[in-house]
């Protein structure tokens, strides 16, 4: 970009905010679909992201800045020693599948085999402790790690019992503090969903800032004078950052944006769908499913999966560099325009699901790498949310508007004819638990039952199930999960209220399977 610079060496700031989350879907059996979700995310997203951040930090620590939300359920999965042990076997099986391919497909998948081995080497070097690597980046200020609601509960539909919202947030904060050694100041609200007076609960829990969709800022009261280009502070004292749609659309959209380019890897063509059930079962895979082994390119959006061409890594690398340059040039022009028309330093907030980078968009981590490497060339200063607030203590007082980052900016994606039946079920369970949590149970066994009931309630509240039901993918799994956790919740409540019907085997089994939040406290549901 040419032309005069402002009185600083940059035009404005860009904050990329990534939200890393998976639901707590732990099963004890080998090669479960649920563990596939986690292991594919580790391989394609979390390890590459760490590699990019650590590499960039060595080159330019001052401009290696990202904000990352790590949900409590994801953290619980990542720190689970049993799951860590299974990852090696999972990787070995994928390598075997690639080595068994015909020569032509072996040659086409060589890049994939090389990347799998490279990422697994990283895993071995850190002994599977990815959390420690994230923690180190947080301590140096390169990452600003946010928390999230405990099980990613959609908070607006929990508001009838405010204590259930409190339980989600307090449990998340405690879990974060145990893992990272410090209390989180920022939070990623699940689905960026906000409702009136949620800021009061956040403030009382010690949360000082959060990310919202642009609708939540632009429809605020009074209307923010700088729109989404500067954070606001609610009357209760919580800062909010608004998503800039112009900065996110080129990445979010597979049709209009970068991820849909013909040279990029095709997400939907997976070796798991190509192999026979016999070939899969030989290696312990019980059903046809994606294996995370994809080595074809998009080719074009109109051709069938059977006609997709083989992936050419060098072409994709060249293209992702072009797209990073295009993205930064567009942001630079945007910032220059904003800085010329206003008397403030403009800020662009670009929030994304972390799993987009690497899992959905295979080249995504390399895109971030190029953003980190090239941003100064375009006179853009990278930052994170914590750094922004430390440097900008004076914010406009403005109450945000109810909103989410779903289509249209409202709540309808998580409350519609496909999933509305969930709301009265979890509302009823929440009301009963809130009532019981206020009673004085002094015996250890009653407290044990209550704590496990709290876990089952939290797990039933996950917004993932509502999303899946609306999207129409793996709906049976979503229904089964909701039913499972609510069944367990009500049986625990029955055991609590009637000690003559204690099922010790049932209790022991679900304590092992839903082993999450060991430091859970019943008082966290009390206002």
H/E stretch holding 389 reads helix 385-391
The answer to whether residues 420 and 400 belong to one domain is no
Q: How many domains does the chain have?
A: 2
Beta carbons of 20 and 69 less than 8 angstroms apart: yes
Q: In this predicted model, what pLDDT tens digit does every residue of 490-500 receive, in sequence order? A: 999 999 998 87
CATH code for the domain in which residue 46 is found: 3.20.110.10
Residue 4 has pLDDT above 50, yes or no: no
Q: Is 54 exposed, middle or buried (0-12, 13-18, 19+ CB in 10 A)?
A: middle
- Check the CA dihedral 44-45-48-52 and report its sign: positive
Beta carbons of 151 and 424 less than 8 angstroms apart: no
Distance of CA 194 to the CA centre of its chain: 17
The answer to whether residues 148 and 197 belong to one domain is yes
Q: In this predicted model, what pLDDT tens digit does every residue of 51-80 receive, in sequence order? A: 999 999 999 999 999 999 999 999 999 999
* pLDDT band at residue 97 under the 50/70/90 scheme: very high
| Predicted local distance difference test score (pLDDT) of residue 394 | 87
> Mean pLDDT across the chain, nearest whole number?
93
> Which segments of 8-63 does DSSP mark as H helices, in order?
33-41, 47-59
CA dist., res. 133 & res. 83, Å (int): 18
- How much is the average pLDDT of 109-116? 98
* pLDDT band at residue 342 under the 50/70/90 scheme: low
Among the ranges given (164-168, 250-254, 281-285, 346-350), the one the predictor scored with the smallest mean pLDDT:
250-254
Residue 6 has pLDDT above 50, yes or no: no
- Residue holding tokens 């004292």? 237
- Of 408, 441, 471, the domain-final residue: 408
457 is a domain residue: yes
292 is a domain residue: no
Among the ranges given (268-272, 340-344, 387-391), the one the predictor scored with the smallest mean pLDDT:
340-344
Residue 212 has pLDDT above 80, yes or no: yes
- How much is the average pLDDT of 230-246? 97
Residue 2 has pLDDT above 90, yes or no: no
27 is a domain residue: yes
CA dist., res. 204 & res. 323, Å (int): 43
Beta carbons of 234 and 399 less than 8 angstroms apart: yes
149 is a domain residue: yes
Residue 30 has pLDDT above 90, yes or no: no
Full residue range of the structural domain in which residue 122 is found: 15-248+337-408
| Predicted local distance difference test score (pLDDT) of residue 413 | 86
More confident residue, 175 or 31: 175
CA dist., res. 101 & res. 323, Å (int): 32
More confident residue, 390 or 409: 390
Residue 415 has pLDDT above 90, yes or no: no
Residue 315 has pLDDT above 90, yes or no: yes
| Predicted local distance difference test score (pLDDT) of residue 34 | 77
Name the DSSP class of 244. -
- Closest to 188 (Cα-Cα) out of 152, 230, 225: 152
Beta carbons of 488 and 510 less than 8 angstroms apart: yes
More confident residue, 12 or 473: 12
| Predicted local distance difference test score (pLDDT) of residue 5 | 40
* pLDDT band at residue 27 under the 50/70/90 scheme: low
Task: Give the count of alpha carbons within 13 A of 103, CB side only.
Answer: 0
CATH code for the domain in which residue 499 is found: 1.20.1430.10
The answer to whether residues 140 and 206 belong to one domain is yes
Q: In this predicted model, what pLDDT tens digit does every residue of 282-312 receive, in sequence order? A: 999 988 899 999 999 999 988 999 999 999 9
362 is a domain residue: yes
User: What is the percentage of the chain residues whose pLDDT exceeds 70?
Assistant: 97
CA dist., res. 426 & res. 432, Å (int): 10
Among the ranges given (90-94, 266-270, 424-428, 498-502), the one the predictor scored with the smallest mean pLDDT:
498-502
184 is a domain residue: yes
| Predicted local distance difference test score (pLDDT) of residue 3 | 39
Residue 397's SS3 state is strand
| Predicted local distance difference test score (pLDDT) of residue 33 | 73
- Of 378, 408, 438, the domain-final residue: 408
CA dist., res. 144 & res. 17, Å (int): 9
Rg (CA), the chain: 24
Residue 263 has pLDDT above 90, yes or no: yes
The answer to whether residues 382 and 441 belong to one domain is no
User: What is the percentage of the chain residues whose pLDDT exceeds 90?
Assistant: 83
The answer to whether residues 366 and 484 belong to one domain is no
The answer to whether residues 159 and 74 belong to one domain is yes
* pLDDT band at residue 169 under the 50/70/90 scheme: very high
The answer to whether residues 421 and 400 belong to one domain is no
CA dist., res. 315 & res. 338, Å (int): 35
| Predicted local distance difference test score (pLDDT) of residue 341 | 74
The answer to whether residues 132 and 227 belong to one domain is yes
């Amino acid at each position: 970009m040419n032309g005069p610079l402002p009185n600083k060496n940059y035009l404005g700031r860009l904050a990329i905010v990534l939200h890393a989350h998976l639901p707590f879907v732990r099963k004890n059996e080998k090669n479960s679909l649920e563990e596939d979700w986690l292991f594919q995310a580790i391989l394609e997203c979390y390890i590459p992201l760490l590699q990019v951040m650590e590499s960039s930090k060595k080159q330019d620590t001052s401009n290696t800045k990202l904000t990352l939300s790590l949900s409590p359920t994801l953290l619980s999965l990542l720190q689970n020693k049993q799951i860590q042990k299974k990852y090696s076997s999972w990787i070995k099986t994928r390598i075997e599948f690639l080595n068994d391919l015909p020569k032509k497909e072996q040659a086409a998948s060589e890049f994939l085999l090389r990347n799998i081995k490279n990422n697994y080497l990283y895993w071995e070097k850190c002994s599977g402790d990815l959390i420690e690597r994230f923690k180190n980046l947080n301590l140096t200020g390169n990452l600003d790690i946010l928390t999230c609601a405990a099980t990613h509960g959609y908070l607006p539909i929990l508001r009838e019992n405010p204590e259930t919202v409190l339980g989600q947030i307090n449990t998340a904060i405690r879990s974060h503090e145990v893992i990272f050694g410090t209390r989180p100041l920022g939070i990623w609200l699940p689905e960026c969903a906000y409702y009136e007076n949620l800021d009061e609960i956040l403030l009382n829990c010690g949360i000082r800032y959060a990310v919202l969709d642009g609708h939540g800022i632009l429809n605020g009261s009074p209307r923010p004078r700088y729109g989404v280009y500067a954070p606001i502070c609610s009357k209760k004292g919580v800062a909010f950052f608004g998503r800039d749609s112009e900065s996110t659309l080129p990445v979010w959209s597979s049709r209009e944006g970068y991820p849909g380019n013909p040279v990029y890897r095709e997400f939907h063509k997976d070796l798991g769908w190509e192999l026979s059930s016999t070939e899969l079962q030989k290696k312990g895979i019980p059903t046809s499913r994606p294996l995370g082994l994809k080595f074809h390119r998009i080719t074009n959006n109109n051709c069938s999966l059977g006609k997709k061409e083989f992936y050419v890594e060098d072409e994709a690398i060249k293209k992702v560099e072009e797209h990073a340059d295009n993205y930064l040039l567009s942001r630079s022009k945007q910032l220059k325009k904003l800085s010329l028309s206003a008397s403030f330093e403009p800020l662009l907030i670009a929030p994304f699901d972390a799993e987009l980078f690497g899992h959905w968009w295979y080249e995504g981590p390399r895109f971030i790498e190029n953003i980190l490497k090239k941003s100064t060339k375009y006179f853009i200063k990278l930052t994170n949310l914590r750094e922004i607030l430390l440097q900008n203590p004076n914010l406009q007082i403005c109450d945000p508007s109810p909103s989410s980052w779903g289509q249209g900016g409202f709540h309808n994606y998580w409350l519609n004819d496909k999933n509305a039946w969930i709301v009265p079920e979890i509302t009823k369970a929440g009301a009963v638990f809130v009532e019981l949590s206020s009673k004085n149970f002094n015996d250890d066994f009653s407290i044990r039952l209550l704590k496990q009931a709290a876990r089952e309630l939290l797990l039933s509240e996950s917004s993932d199930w509502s999303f899946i039901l609306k999207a129409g993918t793996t709906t049976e799994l979503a229904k089964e999960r909701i039913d499972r956790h609510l069944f367990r919740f009500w049986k625990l409540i029955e055991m609590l209220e009637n000690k003559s019907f204690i099922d010790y085997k049932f209790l022991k089994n679900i304590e092992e399977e839903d082993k999450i939040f060991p430091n859970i406290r019943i008082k966290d549901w009390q206002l």
